Amino acid sequence: MPSSNLLVFDCGAAHLSGGVFTVEKDGGLRLESHASEELLANSSDEKSWGSALGEAVTRVMSRVNYEGSECVITVPGHLALTKFVKTPAVEHSKRDRIVQFEASQNIPYPLNEVAWDYAEVADDGVDVELMLSAVKRDALDELCAVFKQAGLVVTGIEPGGLAAIRAWRTAPGRIQDSSLVVDVGAKSTQLLFVGRDNFFMRTLPFGGNLATQLLAKKLSCELTEAESLKRELSEGGRANDSGRQALIDEAVMEFTSRLQAELTRSIFSYSRHTEAETPEEIVLMGGESRLPDLRRRIAESTALSTRSLDVIADLELRRANGDEAGDDSLLALAGLAQSHFANEGVAMNLLPVERQAEQGALRARPWWLAAVALLILALQPPIIYLQLTASRHVERSQVLHAELGPLIMWDARNRKNLEQIESLRERLGMLSEIEQRSERWTSFLADMQSRLESVGDVWLESMIILPISPLSSDTEEGAPLRLGLSGKLLDIENPTTKASSASRERVNQLLQSFGESKYVQDISAGGFDKSQPGILKFELTIVINEEEAL
């Protein structure tokens, strides 16, 4: 997803143009702001070009309204090497290896010393025409460093010619299907053959600086003076001195002738390509294309319709401030913006892969940081929630523990004391039982005595504790106490009668009385002896009540 606005720069040998583009809802480009600066550099000094470019970048940045940090730039023609090669049409997966081979063959430098890329110009199914472009890495690094000093990050580099071709192929003002755009720069001149289905580009190793040098030579003056004179001529000025004007005309004629020759040769050469379409018009552009009579002479020599680029009209570029003024570099700037926003047309990026990766990494870094921060932060709420909840439980537990502590202590004491009470109660019960039983024999005998007295004239002669019968199921501890009693009953009223009815009645009375005793559980008569008149001997067995154990 491209950013909403884009800063693009067209770097030339003698100028720098910068523009901020946005894309409108209908997909059309809109130029938000634009600035162009001349490079104040000695044309013969390569090193001063970099510093001049840096100053120009700063000036341009001060004039355009851009808050971002990324930009896309063109590389000037004199720094870029462009080759068109044909390779067999192979699968795309194998194409990179073939292109790699072609690059190594056609780029006259070790590939690790250049930044290079390619673009497919045409593919007829048999052959693929490729455009190879390369820039020396040190030059590219210097170029990137210049922009970096201005606080910009270069995210794309493209040959200016290719950008111009892309813009021109879609330019509404393009009248003919096939045209030749001649971009006359300071140090080089680019010939852009733009057809319906293909294009070709050739860089001539001379530009407006050649005219300057010729002027300086003819007039025997400094290059700066010759440059100023050239600019005056371009704006329609003439020398006051007719001799001097003649020398100037000669210099311009010499430059124009050389350009004419190269154009003618290039057109002828291009026309020999099988797929080539002969240009139907020539469009002149570039700061050095305004030399006097240049357009007329080219038209005469090539016999083609020749005109200067009217960038505003040809591109129908929408502008934010309504300013209709513009320079020819807008063509390349528009081409860069098209590639960025619409991602259409043939494009390449000379920015080394590792730098692209770095840019990608730089772009991705905030997202990664955000993702990591989000991940880290995402775990914080549950941790905090769990800890808060746990601390609430701890607080409640402490309260409960504080309340429970005394209760547990009292409960433990109560339990211990209750156990002690139970033990004491048990002991008390046993002691009470012992106390009661220790006196029970006396009470039992007193009870028997009173019952005998209630019957009257009866006494006991013996009392023995009967042993536990071997046949009994009772155990020794559980066996009730059995007493064997024997005694006599005196029948005073019938002293001569043996076992009178009165005696029988009194015996029964005695048995009943004994049976009613709380000490007696059971009573049984063992036998009677009536042999003696008036005396009835009896034997009894009583079982002692277990609840009143003796």
Residues 527 to 546 in contact with other proteins, rule: CB under 8 A? 534-535
Please select the residue that binds other proteins; options are 96, 241, 411, 522, rule is CB under 8 A.
411
Long-range contacts of 32-36 (CB under 8 A, 24+ apart): 32/5, 32/64, 32/65, 32/320, 33/63, 33/64, 33/65, 33/66, 33/320, 33/321, 34/64, 34/319, 34/326, 34/330, 34/333, 35/59, 35/60, 35/63, 35/64, 36/60, 36/327, 36/329
449 binds other proteins (CB under 8 A): yes
Cα angle, residue 327 at apex, residues 321 and 331 outer, rounded to 5°: 95
Which residue, 192, 169, 190, 205, is CA-closest to 279?
A: 192
Report the side by side order of strands in the sheet with 80-88. 80-88, 127-136, 114-123
Interface pick for other proteins out of 175, 246, 372, 525 (rule CB under 8 A):
372
Of the candidates 56, 57, 448, 520, which one interacts with other proteins according to CB under 8 A?
Answer: 448
Q: With contacts defined by CB under 8 A, name the span among 110-118, 135-143, 325-333, 405-413 that binds other proteins.
A: 405-413
Among 393, 469, 522, 524, binds other proteins (CB under 8 A): 393
Per DSSP, 290 falls in state G
State the minimum distance, in angstroms, from the CB of residue 537 to other proteins.
10
Amino acid at position 508, single letter: N
382 binds other proteins (CB under 8 A): yes
Closest contact distance (angstroms) between CB of 98 and other proteins is 24
Distance of alpha carbon 5 from the chain centroid: 27
Using the rule CB under 8 A, give the single segment among 48-56, 95-103, 271-279, 380-388 that binds other proteins.
380-388
Each residue 320-359 as x (binds other proteins by CB under 8 A) or -, in order, gives ----------------------------------x--xx-
| Minimum CB distance to other proteins smaller for 288 or for 447 | 447
296 binds other proteins (CB under 8 A): no
Among 24, 459, 469, 525, binds other proteins (CB under 8 A): 459
CB of 499 to other proteins, least distance (A): 15
Distance CA 427, CA 419 (A): 12
Of 138-146, 246-254, 315-323, 385-393: span binding other proteins (CB under 8 A)? 385-393
Residue whose pair of structure tokens reads 């006259």 in the numeric block: 108
Helix (H) or strand (E) holding 190: strand 189-194
Judged by CB under 8 A, the stretch of 26-34, 224-232, 271-279, 413-421 that binds other proteins is 413-421
- Does 547 bind other proteins (CB under 8 A)? Our answer is no
Token representation of residue 187: 């140090």
List 434, 470, 473, 527, residue binding other proteins (CB under 8 A): 434
Of 246, 261, 361, 370, which one interacts with other proteins (CB under 8 A)? 361
Within 460-489, the residues that bind other proteins by CB under 8 A are 460-465, 467, 476-477, 479, 481, 487-488
Nearer to other proteins, 268 or 459 (CB): 459
Q: Which of 205, 237, 456, 526 binds other proteins (CB under 8 A)?
A: 456
User: Using the rule CB under 8 A, is 401 a contact of other proteins?
Assistant: yes
* Stretch 176-215 residues interacting with other proteins (CB under 8 A): none
Q: How far is the CB of 69 from other proteins (least distance, A)?
A: 18
* Given 138, 418, 501, 512, the residue binding other proteins (CB under 8 A): 418
Give me 13's structure tokens: 């040998």
**Cα–Cα distances in angstroms (integers) from residue 145 to residues 53, 60, 542, in the given order:** 11, 16, 133
DSSP assignment of 225-269? HHHHHHHHHHTT---SSHHHHHHHHHHHHHHHHHHHHHHHHHHHH
How many residues of this chain interact with other proteins, rule: CB under 8 A? Answer: 83
Binding residue for other proteins, selected from 90, 261, 313, 386, defined by CB under 8 A: 386
For Cα atoms 7, 8, 11, give the angle at the middle one, nearest 5 degrees: 145
**Which of 253, 252, 283, 36 lies closest to 184, judged by CA?**
283
Least gap, CB of 196 to other proteins (angstroms): 38
Residue number with CB closer to other proteins (175 or 364): 364
Rounded Cα distance between 55 and 59, Å, is: 6
Q: Minimum CB separation from other proteins for residue 465, in Å?
A: 6
145 near other proteins, judged by CB under 8 A: no
The sign of the CA dihedral 332, 82, 134, 123 is positive
C-alpha span between 492 and 486 (Å, rounded) = 19
Residue with tokens 């680019």: 190
Where does this chain touch other proteins (CB under 8 A) — which range of 51-59, 178-186, 339-347, 457-465?
A: 457-465
Options 495, 501, 508, 512; binder of other proteins; rule CB under 8 A: 495
Nearer to other proteins, 24 or 453 (CB): 453
Nearer to other proteins, 40 or 388 (CB): 388
Using CB under 8 A, which of 113, 205, 316, 410 touches other proteins?
A: 410
Q: Does 370 bind other proteins (CB under 8 A)?
A: no
Region of 220 please: left (phi>0), alpha (psi -120 to 50) or beta.
Answer: left
> What is the SS3 assignment for 540?
strand
- The CB density around residue 271, as the number of other CB atoms within 10 Å, is 12
Contacting other proteins (CB under 8 A), which of 425, 469, 508, 531? Answer: 425
Of the candidates 62, 387, 472, 512, which one interacts with other proteins according to CB under 8 A? 387
Closer to other proteins by Cβ: residue 235 or 461:
461
Amino acid identity of residue 151, one-letter, is G
Give min distance, CB of 442 to other proteins, in A: 5
Find the DSSP H helices in 152-308.
160-169, 208-219, 223-234, 242-271, 294-302
Q: What are phi and psi of 386, to 5 degrees?
A: -65, -40
By CB under 8 A, tell whether 374 contacts other proteins. Answer: no
